Structure 1
């Protein structure tokens, strides 16, 4: 991730001692942690919280971490919201050549054997995040009918291209980086305009208003307002709850 944006890391580990150790150390290094002990919970968070990287133990409470890897790599972005390209690092107490090959064949990006040196693990995590950060800056982003092409700086709704200003494009990219998650006004002002501290939100609100109008012209009602907090991007406005949030 960028220097100003902490990486969100999912740790799926059934051993409480290892789970707590990883959570404490990675948090101390500046990452935001999602911690679970089962394969089902790992998949749920991969589909709803969109971590930047996942560390998966092979032996989880209700299944194999390799099954999680296979499910992620098989995701098509249509029937599931899981990002099939999210970096996956596998942990295992079995470190033979066959075990490593199985992990990589399943789709793992890296493999670390237990017991491990945290220094080495941290280095591998940082390397994966660097590659992931580059991919996320250049890869196309899809949210419902909306598609954003960062390399071409273009936005499409279905097969129709939406003309946006540079600021509108930057604002939409920030919202699309964390779909369904509310971005606070302060965070948006900092990300798009570089504002720090308590700044006026009039500029932000006016740009969001214009961006909404442009998307509405293409039948895309995707930006929702959480009053007093900020804005979020959704793939289906019918999933939002509360008339106050749907209000313009």
Structure 2
């Protein structure tokens, strides 16, 4: 069974001083086909910008020394000693959730704003939207696994040319499994990536959604065994022998 993914891997400058948040975002953005370049301060971010050309930036407002807001202003103003794209998309994240904080960030030149605590799927969706707008292209437009086609941009899936009637979470679960169809995704990973859980939780929601998704794929007449339960671990899209 052939697997093909229409992917343009965008680089993301991740400016975050909190080690746990930085590691969480870097690991998960890498898994979602971004190429993170990390900085722990605004000063380090400026040094990186002088030698690299990231497609998009994620900037924490509460940085030590120069603040995230000041960094956004510096990016927009440019620098005589270094060239970078002053129009690069910027997503701000901040522990301040007030509307005034968002207005300040946008006023400094940020393109979007997410308050903490954030749900990772929201950050991923907003980054994808910023990259698509800046490139005029679709990020991860199609994932093909045999006769299964998952269009993440249109949020549409077909099997053998037949459109699948999926709920929002069923589609997100299918898209997560289709990204690496032979790899087992643990329930903890799926709860994080699809439902936005930041910590492990005792819930049957993954199993119930996977069961409904498997049934709908079977009803579509694909004749293939899809969405396989690996007992005690999680799920994969394709059986092991494929």
Q: How many Å separate the matches in 2 of 1:87 and 1:116? A: 19
* Partner Cα separation in structure 1 for residue 7 and residue 29 of structure 2: 16
Q: Look up the match of 2:91.
A: 89
Q: Secondary structure at the match of 2:129?
A: helix
1:32 aligns with one of 35, 58, 63? 35
Q: Whose helix fraction is larger, Structure 1's or Structure 2's?
A: 1
Distance 1:126 1:33 in 2: 14
Cα distance 1:99–1:67, how it changes in 2: closer, same or farther (>3 A)? same
The 3-state SS of whatever aligns with 2:131 is: helix
Q: How many residues are matched?
A: 133
The correspondence of residues 94-173 of structure 1 with structure 2, limited to 5 A, is 94-134=96-136
Matches within 5 A, 1:40-59: 40-59=43-62
Q: How much does 1:79 deviate?
A: 4.8
* Cα shift at 1:62: 2.2
Q: Deviation above 2 Å: which 4+ runs of structure 1? A: 2-5
Three-state SS of the structure 2 residue aligned to 1:103 is: helix
Secondary structure at the aligned position of 1:124 is classed as: helix
d(CA) in 2 for partners of 1:4, 1:99: 34
Match of 1:152 in 2: none
Q: Distance in 2 between matches of 1:61 and 1:21?
A: 20
* TM-score for both structures, normalised by structure 2: 0.52
Instruction: Indicate whether 1:67 and 2:70 are aligned.
Output: yes
Q: What's the counterpart of residue 157 of structure 2?
A: none
Unaligned runs of 5+ in 2: 138-242
- What are the superposed Cα offsets for residues 132-173 of structure 1, whole Å, 9 maximum, x if unpaired? 1129xxxxxxxxxxxxxxxxxxxxxxxxxxxxxxxxxxxxxx
Deviation per residue, 1:84-121 (Å, 9 max, x gap): 10000000000111111110000000000000000111
Larger RCO, structures 1/2 (Cα 8 Å, 6+ apart) = 2
Root mean square deviation, CA, Å: 1.7
**1:179 alignment partner in structure 2:** none
Secondary structure of the structure 2 residue equivalent to 1:90:
strand
Alignment equivalent of 1:16, drawn from 19, 23, 26: 19
- Unaligned 5+ runs, structure 1: 136-248
CA deviation map 1:213-236 (0-9, x unaligned): xxxxxxxxxxxxxxxxxxxxxxxx
What secondary structure is seen at the aligned counterpart in 2 of 1:115? coil
Distance 1:79 1:3 in 2: 37
